[in-house]
Structure 1
């Protein structure tokens, strides 16, 4: 038996229908050696960006920043309260290249326990505990290396215990079949608990259709300043999937990964672009029903957790 579906935000569990327009993949805070000098660590900048997002019609945002990359989970409740935007925090782990070897040596032997603790007990911070609402993992370019397989296995264990969805960074949009084979076929995670990210970066419609037919959610994160050459493919990818009957699998995120990409303190387009510009464009090109599915109906299901009765 299971209880009603919910979404675990940093201020507590909420009815999925209350999220409104959702940015399904973004970052308010991020710090990684892969992006030196481009750290996102300013609370005031994050607040300004969230306020602009809310003014443009945004209601909720999933921050995919995982363990060890400056996710600042302790600041998220305050930011949610002052802006009125629902925030979903992530546990999980990125590719090995984002971490010092000694950090991974300490963490990997207890990885599943860390994920489960973040989801059930909370992430420790200076302002108390904040529970994560999703698990973020990452594959490699067209492959899953041993590090990824270890992280995916721990994520699957945490999912089975908590019901939390798993968001997957697909490197340059590749590796969706391998990801679903491991998570779903080998590790038993239901496909509709998997969110495949960055798919517009490899606009392979056949692969997209296979993933949608399997039941996974497909997250197209554009526009992203770091990957803007793929933006022009976004609408065509969405149209192909919607025309094939898979509008119910689509999610949209911005994936803001550098301070320069913020709208309020950088060169943009930033968080407000999704509700203010991209959503109306999708509505105009693909119809109101598809836009509502991408930004409201689908993320309400994709980020839901079914709690034990």
Structure 2
């Protein structure tokens, strides 16, 4: 049986003796403690593809977490991977002060988000991923600061537009190796929601990762019901994450896409998230931000599939998707 912390200290380290747990920035957590979860979002993010829109302000991140908590949120899975301004050492403080459980990511995004010399310097990405999942993110600060290096709780990698380039194949191969060493879930950025079946062919076919350890992100950006159905039948989790953007067919088609999956018996495969990637998109800066998931998206989905189904998407599904038996 998993030993659980008091309800007043979300995300606090537990000392599990058996069963799967979620690895948060404050320690391992029993799945039943996760609560309402934004299954894909960002507190910190920096990329040359988004100049001037960096998520780099800790106090803005703190305010966003408070707003999410006030809306009824309890947990955030932060998908920001290695080398993209995660500011991982800020995450434990933000989790403690906000009362919101935070799960951090290791992994690598598309090559376009990094300088070529940065990627050339990564001789063994799998070893990096394993170290961040098991030892901690950032330099070792010694035994006098045991929580200074929060551990990652998932692996994030990325595909390309309707395919997988050499970088994607390299990082997914490393992610599969790290999964085999740790059991960690692999989250996939699908470019504009495409390439889901190619990812499953590589990760779950050629590389042998169990489909239920894979989360396919951004499927709302490509509302292809046949692909959604095939991915769900394969056993992967399907993440619908991010509010409307001008070039995405998202919110107005999302209820129908989710309803089709629920009608086909795949309610337990669906995750919901916000994917806040720019400073202007934060709610504290006038954008939709993390609260949008609960203020606006949840009631629309409840009209389409009912309250109980949406509650499972926000609580039980992410708890199951990201929990594992850590070595």
User: TM (normalized to structure 2)?
Assistant: 0.91
C-alpha distance after superposition, 1:181-216 (max 9, x if no partner): 000011110000000000011100000000000000
Using CA pairs below 8 Å that are at least 6 residues apart, which structure has the higher relative contact order? 1
The answer for the alignment partner of 1:231 in structure 2 is 251
Match of 2:43 among 14, 21, 28: 28
Taking the TM superposition and a 5 Å limit, the aligned residue runs for 1:103-114 are 103-107=118-122, 109-114=123-128
Question: Structure 2: where are the runs of 5+ without partners?
Answer: 1-16, 142-146
Match of 2:288 among 252, 255, 269: 269
C-alpha distance after superposition, 1:39-98 (max 9, x if no partner): 110000000000000010001000000000001111000000000000000000001111
The answer for the alignment partner of 1:165 in structure 2 is 185
Greater helix share, 1 or 2?
1
Taking the TM superposition and a 5 Å limit, the aligned residue runs for 1:1-309 are 3-107=18-122, 109-124=123-138, 128-225=148-245, 229-264=249-284, 266-308=285-327
- In structure 1, distance between residues paired with 2:110 and 2:320: 27
Question: Structure 1: where are the runs of 5+ without partners?
Answer: none
Q: Is the 8 A contact 2:255 2:300 kept in 1?
A: no
Shift of 1:226: 7.0
**4+ residue segments displaced more than 3 Å:** 224-229
Q: Is the 8 A contact 2:274 2:289 kept in 1?
A: yes
C-alpha distance after superposition, 1:145-197 (max 9, x if no partner): 11100000000000001010000000000000100000001111000000000
C-alpha distance after superposition, 1:1-24 (max 9, x if no partner): x93010000000001111110000
Q: Is the 8 A contact 2:221 2:248 kept in 1?
A: no
User: TM (normalized to structure 1)?
Assistant: 0.96
